[in-house]
Amino acid sequence: MTSFEEFTEVCNKVEGISSSLEMTTVIAGFLIKVDDEELEIVTRFIMGNVFPVWSAMELGIGPSLLYTAISRASSRPVSQIQGFVKETGDVGLAAEKAMLSGKTHLNFFSEGQLSVGDVYSRFKKIASLTGKRSQDSKIKNLQYLFGVAKPCESVYIARLSIEEMRIGVGEGIVRNAISEAFGVPVGLVERGFMLTNDFGEVARTAKKEGEQGLLKLGVEVGRPLKMMLAQITTGINEAICEMGSAAVEWKFDGARVQIHKKGDKVTVYSRRLEDVTASLPDVVKFIKTHVHAENAILDGEAVALGKDKRPLAFQEILRRFRRKHDVSATAKEIPLHIYLFDILYLDGESLIDRSLTERRKKLDKVCDSEILAIQTVTGDIPEIEDIYQKALGAGHEGVMLKNPQSLYMPGKRGKNWLKIKPVMETLDLVVIGGEWGEGRRANYIGSYLLACRDPGSDRFLAIGRVATGITDEQLADLTGIFSDLVISERGKNLDFEPKIVFEVAFEEIQKSQNYESGYALRFPRLVNVRLDKSAQDSDSIERVEQLFTEQKGR
């Protein structure tokens, strides 16, 4: 049994180290010592994951639930816990501070008895609680954990609750630590991770079966593997210069899916490798009707089609993916089509080490053309231009150029898959509000509410929030600048005088009821703080409308 205190000590030690080599050695030393049954758990915990990333289990603990649990365990008001978070900038330190002198109700365990396994079991229980009344039970279970933990342990219970460890351990360090701990090549650990998506399983395999075991880890129907990703390219000419000739496909405007077929059982995974089968019965039906293989893993894009057969906005697809109730009604309202473009496994054979050309031949053989992405292998630039224009004309995003000789590299973004799509312009938007951050950003304004100008009324109309693209240095500078512009403050929300303009890039403009402008930005990111511009120089609602209609020829 590994005590949670020992885990806490290792985390504290790692937090104080700046060299990744040293961190790796400390973690490797710990992994060697950990009991077999707790090795998987510890390996995930150290990265801030309670469950394998692809597992359907979710803790469902937000800041307010966490603060309530700490408040109850320490007999302090929630407002004081929030104060500690603001003061320390970290939920872990805030929990420790609260528990140090707070009164605990529970003390069932004697000192040092809380094990890693105990914490995991309690988290598993919390994840299993769903439904309307689950919040209170979740709080009780979490309160219990804080109640029995020592104050130093509560740091990591709090951080694990929101799955943010803040000890600087990323995938690279865990990969190297597993390699060092069990004497197996780093490349094999990395490969294992791409195939299983879970360092816990990789660590267990490395310990129990060594190199041979890792080599045996392969593609398995029912266990999602990381998806191969695409790199953006500057243009068709450059891409063809590099590739010679390319397998050209439309870049469909939809959502990525990985589909596992095992006899009659079809499982659909989202891009984040979450099991979304229950929400997508129509995709399952397509596969059952049009895929003529017993066992297969397929890669493709699900697209929501409107009445005119053009793709609907991305948020419509998201509605389908997130839907848990009344699935069939939503499926009727937003029908999906599926376009498959790759096959990774077929009837007992892994295909990821075969070339795209070979994989595509197999795909063509087992699937009806209705559900296949059309592929044209060519090096002819005008021909590719033509495919590109047709894709845009049909409302899709652009084209993908793939190297026909390339292998399927799970989780890799490389030049074997290149995406070509029109570059979206940026918008200059006025900042009208903000929100205090959480965790590491607790003392800073972490996100900003943006607005465009309404020339008719001289007002500013909200269009979305931006939190991405802000560097740590900017975070501090901007907090300073905006502190002087605060008009009012309600809880974590702030209203600012509309003075500062942000230049913001985004993937797409969407219609939205959530903001006054009637639009929202998908994936907004800060490009520049335009101190050279005044609020009156910001973009108008007309320009937003114009960009909305122009995008993808809508």
C-beta closer to ligand AMP: residue 90 or 253: 253
Asked if residue 74 lies in contact with residue 103, where contact means CB atoms within 8 angstroms, the answer is: yes
81, 400, 521, 544: which one contacts ligand AMP (CB under 6 A)? 400
Binders of ligand AMP among residues 210 to 239 (CB under 6 A) are 230
Report how far residue 291's alpha carbon sits from residue 294's, in angstroms, rounded to the nearest whole number.
Answer: 9
Cross-strand partners of 267: 260
C-alpha–C-alpha distance, residues 529 and 546, integer Å: 23
Site pattern 321..350 for ligand AMP (x: CB under 6 A)? --------------------x---------
CB of 403 to ligand AMP, least distance (A): 13
Per CB under 6 A, 256 contacts ligand AMP = yes
The least CB distance from residue 417 to ligand AMP, in Å, is 6
Residue 251 annotated in active site: yes
Structure tokens at 370: 């209705």
Q: How far is the CB of 335 from ligand AMP (least distance, A)?
A: 18
Q: Min. distance of Cβ 507 from ligand AMP in angstroms?
A: 8
Strand 427-436, strand 501-505: pairing? antiparallel
Spatial separation of the C-alpha atoms in residues 4 and 242, rounded to whole Å: 53
**Greatest CA separation found in the chain?**
75
Provide, rounded to whole angstroms, the least separation between the CB of residue 373 and ligand AMP: 5
Closest CB 222 distance from ligand AMP, rounded Å: 21
Nearer to ligand AMP, 160 or 230 (CB): 230
Q: Which is nearer to ligand AMP, 507 or 545 (CB)?
A: 507
DSSP states along 139-191: HHHHHHHHHHS-HHHHHHHHHHHTT---S---HHHHHHHHHHHHT--HHHHHH
x/- mask, ligand AMP, residues 402-441, rule CB under 6 A, reads: -----------------x----------------------
CA nearest neighbour of 400 among 247, 244, 256 = 247
Which range binds ligand AMP by CB under 6 A, 72-80, 244-252, 382-390, 429-437? Answer: 244-252
Token pair recorded at residue 11? 């985390």
Which CB atom, from 186 or from 377, has the smaller least distance to ligand AMP?
A: 377
What is the DSSP code (8-state) at residue 50?
Answer: S
Is residue 249 a contact point for ligand AMP (CB under 6 A)?
yes
Applying CB under 6 A, the span of 24-32, 80-88, 115-123, 245-253 interacting with ligand AMP comes to 245-253
The footprint of ligand AMP on residues 535-554 (CB under 6 A) is: none
Residue nearest to ligand AMP (CB): 256
Residue 261 makes contact with ligand AMP by CB under 6 A: no
Chain mean position to CA 453: 32
Catalytic pick from 138, 207, 226, 251?
251
Looking at the Cβ atoms of 193 and 252, the one nearer to ligand AMP is 252
Candidate segments 104-112, 188-196, 248-256, 518-526, binder of ligand AMP by CB under 6 A: 248-256
Q: Which of 209, 91, 70, 212 shows the shortest CA–CA distance to 147?
A: 70
For the bound state, the minimum distance from the C-beta of residue 355 to ligand AMP, rounded and expressed in Å, comes to: 16
The total of other beta-carbon atoms located within 10 Å of residue 156's CB is 26
Based on CB atoms, which residue is closest to ligand AMP, 288 or 413? 413
Please, what is the minimum distance in Å from the beta carbon of residue 524 to ligand AMP? Answer: 15
Q: Binder to ligand AMP among 54, 123, 144, 252 (CB under 6 A)?
A: 252
Write the single-letter amino acid at 118: D
Helix or strand holding residue 75 (H, E)? none
Q: Where are the alpha helices (DSSP H) in 75-150?
A: 78-88, 91-101, 116-128, 134-148
Note whether 420 and 398 are within 8 A (CB): yes
Contact call for residue 268 and ligand AMP (CB under 6 A)? no
- Mask for 273-302, x = binds ligand AMP (CB under 6 A): ----------------------------x-
Contact 319/325 with Cβ under 8 angstroms? no
Contacts of 120 (CB under 8 A, 6+ apart): 38, 41, 45, 50
Nearest approach, Cβ of residue 71 and ligand AMP (Å): 41
Q: What binding mask, one character per residue, do residues 299-318 give for ligand AMP by CB under 6 A, x or -?
A: --x-----------------
Nearer to ligand AMP, 98 or 273 (CB): 273
Both structure tokens of 26: 């400390």
Q: Which of 247, 494 has the CB closer to ligand AMP?
A: 247
Strands 229-232 and 413-420: parallel
- Could you give the CA distance from residue 40 to residue 204 in angstroms, rounded to a whole number? 6
Q: How many residues bind ligand AMP (CB under 6 A)?
A: 10
Token pair for residue 534?
């005044």
Of 33-41, 63-71, 250-258, 310-318, the segment contacting ligand AMP by CB under 6 A is 250-258
Which residue is associated with the tokens 């295909």? Answer: 351
- Spatial distance between the Cα atoms of 477 and 249, rounded to a whole number of angstroms: 45
Is residue 251 close enough to count as binding ligand AMP by CB under 6 A?
yes
Give the residue among 405, 387, 363, 428 at the shortest CA–CA distance from 250.
387
CA 279 to chain centre: 19
Residue 481 belongs to what H/E stretch? helix 472-483
Residues annotated as part of the active site: 251
Interacting residues toward ligand AMP by CB under 6 A: 230, 249, 251-252, 256, 301, 341, 373, 400, 419
